Amino acid sequence: MWCNRIILRQLHRLNLSNLNGTLTTSTQRAMSTLPRVYVTRQIPPEGLRILRESGQVQFELWDSDDVPVPREELLKKVKGVDGLLCVLTEKIDTELLETAGPNLKVLSTMSVGFDHLSLEELKTRGIRVGYTPDVLTDSVAELTVALLLTTSRRLIEATHEAKTGGWGTWRTLWLCGHELANSTVGILGLGRIGVAIAERLAPFKVKKFIYTDVVPRPELASLINAEYVSFEELAEQSDFLSVCCALTPETKEICNKNLFSKMKNTAIFINTSRGGVVNQEDLYEALSTGQIAGAGLDVTVPEPLPTTHPLFTLKNCVILPHIASASYSTRNAMSSLAANNLLRGLRGEPMIKELKL
């Protein structure tokens, strides 16, 4: 939290310092001549404050945090805009970009993932794209550890038993789970979040960290003393397997029956990356047959996952509603970064965090 507060102050100072030379001129211009921006959600207050106080744009927003902007409304509002600030629930595709028209030059997404964006279309049209990595590393890592412990120590089951009268006499093997001590933790996709997860798990006396990725990442791996292994070895050796990779055509449903069939029947599978990296039918089969011991998911396909989905029937599957970055400080830091990316892009300056298309 302290780290994110520092980031927020730095972003605010950066924005004000860049505007000092132009603010007087901007405020003198008629509002109708300022770049038009549409914000697709009621983003956290820090980001909105930066946009309001910049004097650089006129913006309109979908004033709700509970309900995503309807597609028809979104298509109507993006016509002729110069900039767009969106979240991951909005699909930015050919239809939307054509509707927006040639004025759209900057898109800023309040997310670290970008699988909701048609990157090739954005590149073809010369639209710059900002995103919000790094500021959510700590909160995602914390939530991943919490989900791992909740799943492996069967806390949801235990809470249910305590509430519904299942708590009887003490029993030797009732609600036993799996410990981190002396375990091997595998990471699929080693980046900052994977490192942060391992750093938090190390004090639990984990015996070994292993990882696999497109290529070895020795600099990051050295921070947690992790060993690079093949995809098969990751499946076979991991007592706990945490998925941290981005969703790409190469990683779509990479966690399928091929992976689960090689895992230990005592293994715990955790996914806080993107739901699309998992074949959920194969995961259900692995969990329901005891092929693996348990799974904790913060992301699914679709989102929200229908309450009738078979995974909800399993005691050994913990499902959260995509809350890994849901801390006040992180979400405010994300909205600040998204707002600053947008403003810098509209000024023709380098964004703080820009996707290289």
> DSSP letter string over 11-53?
HHHHHHHHHTTTHHHHHHS-GGGSPEEEESS---HHHHHHHHH
Task: Render pLDDT for 112-156 as a digit per residue (tens, 0 to 9).
Answer: 989 999 999 999 999 999 999 999 999 999 999 999 999 999 999
Share of the chain above pLDDT 90, in %: 90
Confidence of residue 23 (pLDDT cuts 50, 70, 90): very low
Same domain, yes or no: 112 and 46:
yes
Same domain, yes or no: 50 and 111:
yes
Establish if 144 belongs to a structural domain. yes
What is the pLDDT, as a whole number, of residue 6?
A: 42
Same domain, yes or no: 144 and 243:
yes
What is the pLDDT, as a whole number, of residue 217?
A: 98
Same domain, yes or no: 205 and 232:
yes
Same domain, yes or no: 125 and 152:
no
What is the pLDDT, as a whole number, of residue 21?
A: 45
Query: Residue 284's closest CA among 316, 330, 245?
Result: 316
Establish if 1 belongs to a structural domain. no
What is the pLDDT, as a whole number, of residue 93?
A: 98
Same domain, yes or no: 272 and 349:
no
Same domain, yes or no: 210 and 235:
yes
The pLDDT mean for the chain works out to 93
What is the pLDDT, as a whole number, of residue 53?
A: 97
Annotated active-site positions, please? 322
Establish if 4 belongs to a structural domain. no
> How much is the average pLDDT of 256-270?
98
| Domain count across the chain | 2
Identity at 24, one-letter amino acid code: T
Same domain, yes or no: 156 and 117:
no
Higher pLDDT, 137 or 4: 137
Identify the bridge partners of residue 354 per DSSP, sorted by sequence position: 130
Query: Residue 59's closest CA among 31, 39, 29, 30?
Result: 39
Cα-based angle 221, 141, 316 (whole degrees, multiple of 5): 110
What is the pLDDT, as a whole number, of residue 77?
A: 98
Establish if 15 belongs to a structural domain. no
Establish if 2 belongs to a structural domain. no
Task: Render pLDDT for 314-339 as a digit per residue (tens, 0 to 9).
Answer: 999 999 999 999 999 999 999 999 99
Establish if 14 belongs to a structural domain. no
> How much is the average pLDDT of 36-40?
98
Establish if 11 belongs to a structural domain. no
What is the pLDDT, as a whole number, of residue 298?
A: 98
The boundaries of the domain holding residue 66 are: 25-134+330-355
> How much is the average pLDDT of 263-288?
98
Task: Render pLDDT for 146-196 as a digit per residue (tens, 0 to 9).
Answer: 999 999 999 999 999 999 999 999 999 999 999 999 999 999 999 999 999
pTM flag (> 0.85): yes
Share of the chain above pLDDT 70, in %: 91
Establish if 324 belongs to a structural domain. no
Same domain, yes or no: 211 and 228:
yes
Longest dimension (CA), the chain: 76
Confidence of residue 14 (pLDDT cuts 50, 70, 90): low
List the CATH number of the domain containing 181. Answer: 3.40.50.720
What is the pLDDT, as a whole number, of residue 31?
A: 62
> How much is the average pLDDT of 66-94?
97
Same domain, yes or no: 289 and 221:
yes
Q: Above 90 in pLDDT, residue 5?
A: no
Same domain, yes or no: 105 and 227:
no
Same domain, yes or no: 190 and 232:
yes
70: how many CB neighbours lie within 10 A of its CB?
10
What is the pLDDT, as a whole number, of residue 39?
A: 98
Task: Render pLDDT for 198-250 as a digit per residue (tens, 0 to 9).
Answer: 999 999 999 999 999 999 999 999 999 999 999 999 999 999 999 999 999 99
